[in-house]
Structure 1
Amino acid sequence: MAPLQFEVISFIVLFAIVLFVILVVLIKQWRRNSRAPKLIVTAKVASKHIQTSCRIRRGSSSISHRTKVYWYFVTFEAEGGALLEFSVNKRVYVSLKEATSGKLTFQGTRYLGFESAKK
């Protein structure tokens, strides 16, 4: 077998292993969340933050495309002081205001909703 063929096959095998491990981790997390009870707790929005990542893709004829990716996170403080952080979509992130109290619904690490308390 030529050295180049060995390198290509090794890369494909390594890529397949990494992809398999990622899929196993995602499936295990999904199953753990699905088996967890749905909980409703009194909580307040403690903080919000955004993580960004810039991706650059090279196109044909030396043209590159830059894409910014955003991940939105909200941290809730439950009664008793426990901090719970969830990844949420932009619509939810924008709608939640810090220091707002209400009922947080979640299942495992999955955010399901937040209903602010009526004043």
Structure 2
Amino acid sequence: MKQKTDVLQGTLALMVLKTLDVLGPLHGYGIARRIEQISGDLLAVNQGTLYPVLLKLEQEGAVASEWGASENNRRARFYRLTRAGRKQLQVETQDWEQSAAIIGRFFEVKTEDLS
């Protein structure tokens, strides 16, 4: 069994935005489980990390929330992506794709390329 890894700092907000974009409104526990599932259960989403990120995204206007009933009829706060959140997701996705491409170049470099 592979050991779960904590989410890299700075990536959780992007994963939350993308999860809400794809799946629509979810409560915090649902967001955490979906991120873990999408990662193939290689990531562990700590509730103590997730809720401050959700609060920050809500304060920034990227997500909005409202109270509702969960699948087991418990009261839960459901989060949804806003128009500003979609725009933020687009910008952050481009930034991460560019960063990943740059890092990828370093993994491709061989000693003979530096001569």
Q: Same fold by TM-score, threshold 0.5 exceeded?
A: no
Higher-Rg structure is 1
TM-score using structure 2 length: 0.22
Higher helix share: 2
